[in-house]
Structure 1
């Protein structure tokens, strides 16, 4: 069994499960690490049980791990849904209401910023897109650092996005963006 997944592959699998969990199950953020660990344990058990069967490829193992993770997350969500509903329906104090309104305004601002960024990224050159993809981990750079030209491209793209946010959404959004970085 140890020959099926190396330490690096296990680490990558756990990270992949955590990213998927944070993206797909935002209400379960506090439980994502536990769910990922349980999914990996269940995957190991499944792989041990099918030891006599032909070996699975890395892609098949990843799909199985995500299926196990999604099932566990859905089960946990079903169990905790009544508790989450009770929290959402509980009357709010004035301070909590103000805090939630502030969170809503910030969330709305982030969504608007994302909309502007997506629209702006759709118009950049292919080389700029590749630099962004490498920097965000969406494209493989084969472990190499960005070249000076790619770093400069990325810097120009960031400046362009910041300018578009300021132009489209105003100074408040630009200030929020500066505070984040």
Structure 2
């Protein structure tokens, strides 16, 4: 019941934010964002290896505004060494459907790529954000994600696990 209440509240906020969008958010058809986020796993991984439970990641994305309140966003995260016990960086491309402008809600899917290999299990994410204009084509994008991931085919993990992760991030969004 609590999750349903949060979902309904999030959709309402994104819908209202869509109407307020032209006041606070650039009307650019295309925008690019560069920034970073802090991530933390909610679950105890309970494995014998040293897995980072939290960390920082770099992000880059491009958003296409399909209509006044609907957009599509594609992006990539660069996760540091230590994520999943990895000895190198992990890349995580993702795609989202965005509802709203200044206040927005997004949902999407992504995948992890390490050693040039994409893992079979995708991650799913929900995002709530606030995009504030500073200049006509420059905005600050503040957001929080909730992410669910299964790790069935990651060789560095001894057993199949699922994790829930939250992120808090910010990026500079440039309109075109």
If the TM-score is normalised by the length of the shorter chain, which range does it land in? under 0.3
Between 1 and 2, higher relative CO (CA 8 Å, sep ≥ 6) is seen in: 2
TM-score between both structures, scaled by the size of structure 1: 0.24
Structure showing greater radius of gyration is 1
More helix by share: 1
